[in-house]
Amino acid sequence: MLTLNIIEHELRSVGRVVRTSNANPSFSAFRLFIEATPLAGPDTLYLCGTRDDVHKVVSQDCQAIYVNAEDDSPDDQAILSVLQGESTLIVFNTLLDALYRFADWERSMDAVRLGGGGLQELLDISSSFLQNNVVIVDPALKLLAYTKDVPCDDPITVELIAHGYHTEENINKFKLHKRFKPWAEEDGFIINSTFEICKYVTVVRSFKTRSSFSIIVIMMCNVAQPDDYLLDVYELFTKRVEFYALRDYPDDKPAGNAADSFLKDLFLGAVRNEDAVLERARIAGIPREARFCLFYIREQDGSVLKSRLLSDVSRLVAPAKTVLVDEAVVVLCFNCRNDRCALHCASNSCPLGCASLSARLDDMLERYDLVCGRSSKFTNLIDASRAFDQARIAFEIGWGKRLKEDKLSIPRNWSNIISFDSCIVDYMVTSTDGKAAELIGGTYAGHVLEAIRKQDDVSRTNNYEFLYEYLRCERRASVVASKLYMHRNNVKYRINRIEDQFGIDTSDPELRFNFLLAYRVREATIVPSAQ
């Protein structure tokens, strides 16, 4: 449909256009008025060559355009008059051409939107209609898209395109001139002609969340001024942008939108430059250096709504940052105050003085019957992409363990949180297509373990499991006895019998390491994939 503002603009090329209405209705079709033909309805605009025809159309509650190449006086009842120009047929053809061009553009935009295309693709097919330079930024003021074929010499815009995000200096300018408040509160277009920041008049359309703004579309009027026609065209474009705003920044999303896009880029490796990481981290309120840890939770069976899971996790782990990345809920924690916390959350590490983040998260995962992958500790935010991969891999291995429960499980401090540090061997085995398992299983330690297992099957003993616990508990008889519900003297007796029977010496540290490695490799080879 074309608005009257757009129709008026298109007809200026074929005559002197006089408008008699301040309203801006939209029309989906155009027709030449033929008296014997019934009128289609109010959505159709009729072209009339005489004043009598105009009056007949208007009397039936429809709208008309008066077209007369000879006349210089508009008809007061016609919504538009096209005078001293082209013939009625030429005017009609101009309207049909405009209707086709705009309809084709709208279809193309909808195809991008519904076909999974991005904002840059949407802007690429729209630049000829928008005429001016347009940029789209996210809540962290990172550049999402811009009109690549419409250059702009405005310094703010040049810096934004060059860096890919607004610099801290530019953000301070926005704060100084109180730009953020209208973006977050006002509806519709915000036209600024003060030239305080941009050297051109700007037209801003921001999309709101419950507490702030999400996507912001800014048009610098460096080619065409923001008249009624251009604002209507701009509205057609921003209606499609609204789809992305609602999809990526829903109202019920509890995490801070300003940090979300930055964290997604960081985790997926889209931002690697240290200066860019530092600048955007400062904007998002995340420290550059801290005791970081990353958690990865994903539903495998859809038993929990992602929005519910995201909301619950966000409230549970605050002030840690929570974001949805590729269907997974990811938590970036930098709450830890314990400088000796190398692998696991200590009980007194929470800045709020409550249970550690891992303890709280483990309880929630138990209720939802989910598992969580956790990265190794890291101290530099730029390593977050590596940590994301670690946590994701730990989750996949942990979910595989859940599917195939085995008595020799991955060592872990929490029931439902699998640390990458605890499943490194599993990752090595699965990432080498079984070659590592074959080689390590073929070592002396591997052969001994196979012999112990076979002997257990024949004699109905459990020496295989006993030796594992003995080595894992660092040969501490009292600890082994407690775990296996036996007397500590029996621990020593049994290990002596195993050593004598299979000709091994567990006091050898290298042999103990090889045994534990072989145990872990043997376990990893029987765990199904979590993919």
- Clarify whether residues 92 and 140 are in a common domain: no
Report the pLDDT averaged over residues 214-230: 95
Q: What is the pLDDT of residue 168?
A: 75
Structure tokens at 128: 């000829």
Report percent pLDDT > 90 for the chain.
48
Which residue did the predictor score with more confidence, 257 or 207?
A: 207
Q: Which residues, including other chains, have CB under 8 Å from residue 196's CB and lie 6 or more apart?
A: 177
Q: Do both 239 and 162 map to the same domain?
A: yes
pLDDT: which is higher, 139 or 413: 139
Where does a domain end: 58, 76, 105?
105
**Mean of pLDDT over the chain:** 85
pLDDT at position 308: 67
Can you read off the two tokens belonging to residue 226?
A: 């923001």
Do 281 and 404 lie in one domain? The reply is yes
Asked whether residue 531 is domain-assigned, the answer is: no
Distances (CA, A) of 195 to 189, 226, 370: 17, 15, 54
Average pLDDT over residues 187-198: 91
Instruction: Say whether the peptide bond before residue 319 is cis (omega within 30 degrees of 0).
Output: yes
Q: Are residues 305 and 396 in the same domain?
A: yes
pTM: 0.58
175, 181, 186, 192: CA torsion to nearest 10: -20
* Strand ranges for 71-229 from DSSP E: 80-83, 133-137, 143-146, 190-192, 202-208, 213-220
Instruction: Give mean pLDDT, residues 396-423.
Output: 71
Model pLDDT for residues 278-287, shown as the tens digit of each residue = 878 877 778 8
User: Does residue 478 or residue 425 have the better pLDDT?
Assistant: 478
The domain containing residue 185 runs over which residues?
Answer: 119-248
Mean pLDDT over residues 411-433, rounded?
A: 78
Domain count, the chain: 4
Q: Please give the share of the chain, as a percent, with pLDDT higher than 70.
A: 88
On whether both 290 and 204 belong to a single domain, the answer is no
What are the pLDDT digits (tens) for 150-183?
A: 999 999 999 999 888 888 788 888 888 888 888 8
Same domain, 389 and 280: yes
Query: Is 52 in a helix, a strand, or coil?
Result: helix
CATH number at residue 512: 1.10.10.2840
Q: What is the pLDDT of residue 335?
A: 75
For the cut 80, the answer to whether the pLDDT of residue 530 exceeds it is no
Provide CB contacts within 8 A for 227, sequence distance 6+. 9
Tokens of 33: 């008025």
Residues 243 and 316 in one domain: no
Environment class of 32 (CB within 10 Å of its CB; exposed 0-12, middle 13-18, buried 19+): middle
Per-residue pLDDT, 410: 56
Amino acid, single-letter form, for residue 94: T
Residue with the larger pLDDT of the pair 504 and 249? 504
Pair 219, 345 in one domain = no
Confidence of residue 62 (pLDDT cuts 50, 70, 90): very high
**Is 255 a residue whose pLDDT tops 50?**
no
Secondary structure, 3-state, 409-436: CCCCCCCCEEEHHHCHHHHHHHHCCCHH
